[in-house]
Amino acid sequence: MVDISSSSCLIFGASGGLGRPITEQLAARGANVSLVGRRFSRLADVDAEGPRIEADLRYPEAASKAMQTAIDAHGGLDIVVNAVGVVAFGPAAELEVDVLEELFLTNTFVPIFVAKAALNHLRPGGLIANISGVIAEQNLPNMAAYGASKAALKAWDDGFRREARRSKIQVLNARPGHTETGLADRALAGSAPKFPTGMSPQHVATVIVDGIAEGQTDLPSSAF
Ligand SMILES: NC(=O)c1ccc[n+]([C@@H]2O[C@H](COP(=O)([O-])OP(=O)(O)OC[C@H]3O[C@@H](n4cnc5c(N)ncnc54)[C@H](OP(=O)(O)O)[C@@H]3O)[C@@H](O)[C@H]2O)c1
């Protein structure tokens, strides 16, 4: 079990629709947070004290540098949350190679870069939380590449979790359904299908933060 109170937490994607309430809820529960986003300006509005780190996580060394900043600020690192992601829509035949690369680089490779770095920086007893998605459980037409990038992350976590256990590190994979963060309106390509109204970001953040506090390793879509 991870004691959130007075822990040191680093949130990647802290400026995002899910990353922001996760960061604010962790801080409200007493965590010492460090915030990472691609654009510094978007981190300013997050209602939590802690260092703001601008980083493009597509560069493998960026995760490690951010973790060192968190350790310098808070004396160690206990929890790493990865709330970074991008989406694209459209028929497979129309998917451009650069969009495919961007999807898998950000949604699959970035969490792998983060996990590898975290093994060298987390204190024993620490936890890594990744946000995959309901689409990893049931992929959809016109979202096949996004769904595959998220299913790959779920598969990575299933294997990596068993390795990380030897270093006394827990790995949590969360698979929320559609959430009203605006992500679908920021697609790299294509237009979103008409989704029913999604869950509130606050609700999804609460389920994830509760899962971290309870030491869960898996939050399937049914947990949300
Ligand atoms: N929203 C949903 O319906 C839903 C459902 C299930 C799963 N998820 C997953 O949950 C995660 C968060 O989604 P969200 O809805 O909160 O999206 P969001 O609001 O667009 O937030 C994405 C975050 O990722 C950051 N980011 C993107 N690329 C980056 C990069 N190369 N380096 C560093 N940071 C980068 C963004 O930084 P900037 O703010 O600086 O751009 C932002 O903080 C994603 O993995 C998404 O796939 C979302």
Q: Does residue 70 fall inside a structural domain? A: yes
At 2 the pLDDT is 81
122 near 134, Cβ under 8 Å? Answer: no
Q: Is the CB of 39 under 6 A from ligand 1?
A: yes
Instruction: Report percent pLDDT > 70 for the chain.
Output: 100
23 near 48, Cβ under 8 Å? Answer: yes
Provide mean pLDDT across the span 5-19: 97
Euclidean distance between CA atoms 78 and 33, whole angstroms: 10
Tell which residue, 222, 84, 218, has the closest CA to residue 158: 218
Q: Does residue 169 fall inside a structural domain? A: yes
Euclidean distance between CA atoms 124 and 83, whole angstroms: 22
User: Coil, helix or strand for 55?
Assistant: coil
pTM, two decimal places: 0.98
At 1 the pLDDT is 73
User: Coil, helix or strand for 179?
Assistant: strand
Q: Does residue 3 fall inside a structural domain? A: no
Minimal-distance CA residue to ligand 1 atom 11: 83
Q: Is the CB of 85 under 6 A from ligand 1?
A: yes
Euclidean distance between CA atoms 182 and 159, whole angstroms: 31
pLDDT, tens digit, 9 for 90 and up, residues 45-74? 999 999 999 999 999 999 999 999 999 999
Q: Does residue 2 fall inside a structural domain? A: no
For a substitution probing ligand 1, which of 33, 65, 84 has the most ligand atoms within 8 Å of its CB? Answer: 84
Q: In what order do the strands lie in the sheet with 79-82?
A: 52-54, 32-37, 8-12, 79-82, 127-131, 170-174, 218-219
Q: Does residue 130 fall inside a structural domain? A: yes
How many separate domains does the chain show?
Answer: 1
Domain span at residue 124 reads 8-223
127 near 169, Cβ under 8 Å? Answer: yes
Euclidean distance between CA atoms 190 and 187, whole angstroms: 7
Euclidean distance between CA atoms 143 and 187, whole angstroms: 11
Q: Does residue 1 fall inside a structural domain? A: no
Q: Does residue 120 fall inside a structural domain? A: yes
pLDDT of 37 strictly over 90: yes
Q: Is the dihedral of CA 143, 211, 122, 201 positive or negative?
A: positive
CATH of the domain at 193: 3.40.50.720
